[in-house]
Each structure stands twice: as C-alpha cells, then as structure tokens.
Chain A
Amino acid sequence: MSKELAHPARVAHPLVADRARLDRIVDNMAAQIHWVIYGRGRDATNERALPGGESADDVLQEALIALLGYSPARLKTTWEALSVGIARKKAFTALRRATRGRRSSTSASGEPDDVTVVPLEFTMTDIRDRSGAADPELVYEQTQQQLVLLRLARERLTGRERRVFFGIHFDGVTRAELAEEIGITAQGVGQLYLRVAKALYAAARHDPDFPTTHGVPERRTT
C-alpha cells in the first residue's frame, strides 16, 4: 500500500536548506538507532545486522524518510527532538520485527515471553533506562556530546588508550577482559579509562560542536 507523503519531495524542506544541521540530525538518528538495537552489544568487530538481515542503515533510511516527510506545519517541537522520537520508534519496530518469535534465554519453559524487545543474550547490566525515558531534547544533546567525544577519541587516542576507552565506553567490554587482552590489571584498565575519559571531556568542552545546554561533566571546582 502506498502512502502519500505529508511533505512532497518537490517542496523544499527546511532541513535540506541547512545541510550542516541535517547532517548532525542524521548522525544523531544513526546513534539513536544503534543505541536501541545494540545497546548491550559486546563485539564492535561483528557486522551489525539484525536477525533476518535488516541493518541499522536500513532503519536509518526509514527514519530519515519519515523525518523529511513530516510536515513542517505540524511540527510542535524541534526537528532535533522529533528526530530522536522517530529514530527510536523505527529502531524498536525493526527490533520487534527481527525478534518476533524468538524467546529470551531467561524465559522459563511454558511461560509467556514478553517479546520482543529483549536482547538475545544478557551479558551486562542494562543501563539504557537511565536515559531512555528522558526528554528528547536532552537525549539529543547528550547523544551529540557522545558523538563529539567519539570524534575526539578517534582523532586523539591510539593503541591501548583507544582500545580501553572504546571498549568500556561504547562497546561494553569488561575491564577484566581488557586487562587480559592488553596485559595490565583490571584496576589499571579502570584508571586508564578514567584518565582518558576526563581528558576527552576536557577537550570536548572547548569543541564548538559540543552542546552544553544540559548536563556536562564540568571542571572540578575544588
């Protein structure tokens, strides 16, 4: 069934007119989608694809089309906040499609499974609820902060620092696993992560792309 677009493509879109803003929003939408689908992911080297073959890029395409198809006349919030809602909704829908009929490994036999937005494997404590119900504006800004942090980490970190920071901060690798991998103690890994994270936040505070309306790890006052 074809659905008529609320905002025909032939009409200039306000976001298209500001390409830098659209790029930031699409970056953020991609991050929201990965957060929903791979929020408990462990292995960054595996190809990111949902069971059934759908990828995060496919979901991003759906979300972007929905965003650009949204009529500016109906907009009651910011495009940024709207993009967060659309991206997360599309990601949850894709996750439901992909996990339909699959049971969580913790569901007892004979009991209903609260399908379907569940991770296929429980490996670490889920911290997604910490920001999951927050104001979309805040979620957008916090995600932008993390994208700036990611860019700075890619630019500045090398070797061991890079492995530790990316492993703990983004990929959910435990300190014990990293310690075994790089040959230092788990305590040393934790200290290295702290040092790198604080240095990156300090650099990010001076980055023009780092939004600071809401919470930011500010410099210590004591």
Chain B
Amino acid sequence: MNEDDDPVDAVILAFLDYLEGLAPEPTLDHLDPDERTRAEAYLDGLAVARGLNSAGSRPAIEALLAGTPMAALVAPAIGVPGGDPDLATVATELAGVDPRARVTVEDSAEPNVLLRYLDLRARFVLVPGPVPVVTEQVRGLVGRLFADDPDTSRVGVVAAGSDDLATQLLAADEIGSTITTPRGEPHLRWDRPLPLHLAARRMLEQSAPEWPAFDFDSARIEALDVTSLAAEIARRVIAREAGRSYQGDKRRAYQALVGQEDLFASLVARVTEPGRELDLDDETTRIARVAA
C-alpha cells in the first residue's frame, strides 16, 4: 500500500463531500480497526475544529477579569519585571516614532506624555501590570485627561509591566457608555493593544491630519486703505452708470458725478471715523448739488 491509496484519505475526502452537501455521510465499515481509528480521529478533529477562531486570539485573563469581583484573584500575578518604566522612558520611545511629532512630558495633575503633530494631540499614561487593562479606575483617569484638555484626540494606556510597553489607545467616544443599535449591529471594538511604538505609529498613520501646502498672499496683508477703496468703488459705479443710456436729469446727474469720486471717498472716510454721525441722505444730496 502506498500513500496514494490510503483508504483513510478517501474517507476524509468523502466526508468533505458530505460536509459540502455533495454526498451522503460516508461509512467506516470497510476500514480495518487501525484505519478506522485513524479516520475517526481525523473526522472528530474536523468536527471540533469547525468554528474555532482561526484569525484571532482571546483577551488576557487580567483583561477578562478587570472590573469584576474576580479581578483580585489575578492581581498578585501582575508584576513589573525589571522595575517600572517612567514617563521619560515613554517619551523617549515616542520620540523615535516620527520625527515630525513633538513629544513632551506633562507634569500636570495627571502626569502624562504628550505627543503632538499639527492638531493631533495624544496623551500617554502608565498603568501597572503586564497588559493595558482599562479598569474603572483607568477609565476614570482617561476621562479626566480628555476633560482637562478637550483638544486631546487619543489617550494611550501603557502597561508599565510589559516588556514592549503594550499600549491600548482610546478615543473619547470609546470610553463612554456603549449603545447597541436596534438593528443589531456589532458595537465598535477597541483596537487591539500594540507595543507603544507600533500603537503610536498606527495612530499617526490613521489619524494624523494632512494639511495642504499654503502661503500668505503678500498683497492682502498690507493695511487696508478704506478711503482709496471707497474711491475706487465710486469710480467704477459712476463710470458704469454714466455709460448707460439714461435720459434727462438722471443722465445729466451721473455724467456730472464723473470726476467727483473723491467726494464719496471723503464721505466714507468721515462715516468710518469713530463717534462720527452723519445723515447720509443729506450728504449724498450735497454731493449731487456740488456736481451739478
């Protein structure tokens, strides 16, 4: 017997046919005891394997028990090998992530490390333990950081006891109460914790703002000369109206105003003087008479 005619192989393939609805369930009656044992083990394994989460992994036990009465059971297991990293260590790690970002240690009521890039602001805090478990206490701390600086976009919870500074990044809306929609849509899940530098890099890649290149128009930053502007506008309006095919007094009035634009500019200058009150009807009537 060679590898090609192993009857167990044929049974497995026939079982796959059965699973796919292509054939009835195969029997094992034709197999000898050894072959039957092997075939049953394969098929039982296939039955047990179906549905296992091949693409993911379960949360850590500490994360599963966080905030429950059982949390104290695993709390003593939380250790900090090699001593606590401090915020300076976190700042050093973050500083190497992206040269465009600025990193500072914030010595505030809730000491943290602030990473800034344009208007993206992320704060990182250290929590004890090997995994960044967001307990009620940590959730409160994160909430206070968002409340103290509403411009904060993300808060990173860094596990001080992990070798790679495992970090759970959170947005403000992710620490609020979960709302399940009537349509049964799955609630949003947090991003999985990553080592600090990877978590920061992912955040920058996904959330860093992109500003288009810009420059100031030098012609528009000079002081505005209201009088000149008013004279220019008056000149354009009078020239346009004088050029129209009006008849009688209207035609004569507009034509008489040509060259008198400075009178309007002077009027605008006086109107814009602080505390100056003018009757614009009287003033425009006076200008019309001067022109006539």
Decide yes or no whether B41 CB sits under 8 A from chain A. Answer: yes
A149 in contact with B45 given A128-B50, A170-B52 (CB within 8 Å): yes
User: Quick check: A30 and B58 within 8 Å, CB to CB?
Assistant: yes
User: Quick check: A221 and B42 within 8 Å, CB to CB?
Assistant: no
What separation, in Å, do the CA atoms of A149 and B54 have in the docked complex? 11
User: Quick check: A53 and B178 within 8 Å, CB to CB?
Assistant: yes
A216 in contact with B41 given A16-B77, A47-B189, A64-B65 (CB within 8 Å): yes
Decide yes or no whether A39 CB sits under 8 A from chain B. Answer: yes
Residues in B neighbouring A72, C-beta threshold 8 A: none
Decide yes or no whether A38 CB sits under 8 A from chain B. Answer: yes
Label chain A's interface by main secondary structure.
Answer: helix
User: Quick check: A55 and B19 within 8 Å, CB to CB?
Assistant: no
In chain A, positions 150-180 with a C-beta closer than 8 Å to chain B are 150, 153, 166, 168-172, 174-176
Interface centre among A65, A139, A143 (most CB of B within 10 A): A65
Residue interface mask A178-222, B partner, CB < 8 A = 1: 000000000000100110010001000000000000011110111
What separation, in Å, do the CA atoms of A193 and B45 have in the docked complex? 14
Residue interface mask B5-33, A partner, CB < 8 A = 1: 01011001100101111000000000000
Residues in A neighbouring B185, C-beta threshold 8 A: 53
User: Quick check: A48 and B54 within 8 Å, CB to CB?
Assistant: no
User: Quick check: A124 and B52 within 8 Å, CB to CB?
Assistant: no
Residues in B neighbouring A216, C-beta threshold 8 A: 41
User: Quick check: B186 and A49 within 8 Å, CB to CB?
Assistant: yes
Decide yes or no whether B61 CB sits under 8 A from chain A. Answer: yes
- A65, A143, A171: the one contacting B48 at CB < 8 Å is A143
User: Quick check: B20 and A9 within 8 Å, CB to CB?
Assistant: no
Decide yes or no whether A104 CB sits under 8 A from chain B. Answer: no
- A35, A169, A215: the one contacting B37 at CB < 8 Å is A215
Minimum CB–CB distance for A204 against chain B, Å: 10
Decide yes or no whether B206 CB sits under 8 A from chain A. Answer: no
**Stretch in contact with the other chain, from B68-76, B111-119, B193-201, B234-242:** B68-76
What separation, in Å, do the CA atoms of A16 and B53 have in the docked complex? 25
User: Quick check: B52 and A146 within 8 Å, CB to CB?
Assistant: yes
User: Quick check: B52 and A150 within 8 Å, CB to CB?
Assistant: yes
- B1, B9, B18, B58: the one contacting A26 at CB < 8 Å is B58
Residues in B neighbouring A68, C-beta threshold 8 A: 65, 70, 73
Residue interface mask B52-69, A partner, CB < 8 A = 1: 111110110100110011
User: Quick check: B51 and A217 within 8 Å, CB to CB?
Assistant: no
User: Quick check: A145 and B19 within 8 Å, CB to CB?
Assistant: no
User: Quick check: B13 and A38 within 8 Å, CB to CB?
Assistant: no
Minimum CB–CB distance for B102 against chain A, Å: 35
Residues in A neighbouring B73, C-beta threshold 8 A: 9, 12-13, 16, 68
User: Quick check: A217 and B50 within 8 Å, CB to CB?
Assistant: no
Nearest CB to that of B25 among chain A residues? A125
Could you list which residues of chain A lie within 8 angstroms of chain B, going by C-beta atoms? 5, 9-10, 12-13, 16, 19, 22-23, 26-27, 30-31, 34-41, 44-45, 47-49, 51-53, 55-57, 60-61, 64-65, 68-69, 124-125, 127-128, 130-131, 139, 142-143, 145-147, 149-150, 153, 166, 168-172, 174-176, 190, 193-194, 197, 201, 215-218, 220-222
* Chain A to chain B contacts (Cβ below 8 Å), 6 pairs: A26-B61, A38-B51, A44-B54, A57-B59, A68-B65, A215-B37
